Amino acid sequence: MELWQRIEEGDIRAAARLMRYADDGDPQAVEQMKRIYPLTGKARVIGVTGNPGAGKSTVVDKLISEYRKGERKVGVVAIDPTSPFSGGAILGDRIRMNRHYNDDKVFIRSLATRGHLGGLSKSTGEISLIMEAWGCDPVFVETVGVGQAEVDVVKLAQTSVVVMVPGMGDEIQAIKAGIMEIADIFVVNKADREGADRTIRDINAMLEMVHWQEGGWRPRVVKTVAFRDEGIDELVKVIEEHGHWLQQSGYQEVKNRRRVEAQFSDLLQDRVRERIEALLAGTEFQSWAEDLVQREKDPYTLLERVSKALLKDQP
C-alpha cells in the first residue's frame, strides 16, 4: 500500500514518515503530497498565538482534551522560533503536552525555526495537510507571537485565537492595529491574576473603536485559567460559534482561498529559494562576489544580469 493510502487509513507512522520526507525535500514527498491533497480542506485549522509566557501551550493542551471528548482526532503544529538567546520553549511544551502522547488520536509536531522563516511556513502548511489527511479535525497551529513572520503562519488558520495575560493594558494601546488584523478570539488567560478585568475592559474599549460590519464577526473575549481548566469549555463554545459564523457568512470561502494562496506561495518561494542558493553557490557567482568586494562591480548591475539568467520575462 502506498504511503498516502496508509495515511488515509489512519496509520500514524506513515503520516510521520511523509512529514519527514517533505521536510527533507525527498522526491517521494511530492507524489504522495499530490495524492493526499484531495483528502484535505475540510478540517478546521485554529491558530493560537501570543507572547511567551501567556500560557498558549496550556490553553492548547486543554483544548486538545476538550476536543478529544468527541472522539475526533486532533493535530497540533507547535512552532517555536528557536532563538539563540531565549533557547526556545520546545522542550517545555513537549513535556506539558506529553500526556497526550499516549493518545493515538492526538498528533503533535514541534517545528523549530532553525532555518528561514519561509521554510517554516512551507513545513507548517504541509504538516497541517498531512494531519488533515490522517483525519485530524481540528488542527491547532501554535506560534509564539514575536514577529510578523510568525503571524504570517496564521494565514493558514480559519480561526485565530490570541492568548494574553492580565496587565498588558498599556501594550494593548500600542498594538491595536496589528492585533486587530489577526484576532478572532481574545483569550485573557491567568485570569485569576490581578488586573484581568482591566485587561478585558481594555480589549473591549479597543474593539469599541472599530466599526464592525452588520453580520460581521466582532472578536470575542474569553477569560480562562487554563491550568485549572477554567473557561476552556467557554472557549470551545466560542471557537465553534466562529466556525458557524464562517459557514453562514460565506466567509469560510475567503479563508479557504487565503489558505491555498498562502500555501502555494510558500511552496513557490521555497522552490525559488533553492534555485537562488544553488546560483549563489556556483562558481560564476563566486567570482562576481570577489568583484563586489573589490567594488569593481556593483550589486545592482549584477542583479539585472542574474535576474535575466534566473527569471523568465514577464508574460
Of 73, 74, 78, 113, the residue nearest 94 (C-alpha):
78
Among positions 116-145, residues that touch its own copies (CB under 8 A) are 116-118, 145
CB of 152 to its own copies, least distance (A): 8
Nearest CB to its own copies, comparing residues 69 and 312: 312
Q: What is the pattern of x (binds its own copies, CB under 8 A) and - over residues 211-250?
A: ----------------------------------------
Is the torsion defined by CA of 137, 143, 149, 151 positive or negative?
positive
136 forms bridges with which residues in the sheet?
A: 73
Can you tell me which residue has the cell 474593539?
207
Dist CA 78 CA 120 (whole Å)? 11
205 binds its own copies (CB under 8 A): no
Cis ω before 138 (30° cut-off from 0): yes
47 forms bridges with which residues in the sheet?
A: 141, 160
Among positions 63-82, residues that touch its own copies (CB under 8 A) are 81-82
Per-residue buried b or exposed e for 26-40, using 16+ beta carbons within 10 Å of the residue's own CB: eeebeebbebbeebb
CB of 105 to its own copies, least distance (A): 24
CB of 279 to its own copies, least distance (A): 8
Among 13, 114, 194, 283, binds its own copies (CB under 8 A): 114
Nearest CB to its own copies, comparing residues 65 and 269: 269
289 binds its own copies (CB under 8 A): yes
Among 6, 46, 50, 67, binds its own copies (CB under 8 A): 50
Dist CA 235 CA 288 (whole Å)? 57
Nearest CB to its own copies, comparing residues 102 and 301: 301
287 binds its own copies (CB under 8 A): no
Nearest CB to its own copies, comparing residues 45 and 64: 45
Amino acid identity of residue 129, one-letter, is: L
Dist CA 315 CA 309 (whole Å)? 16
208 binds its own copies (CB under 8 A): no
298 binds its own copies (CB under 8 A): yes
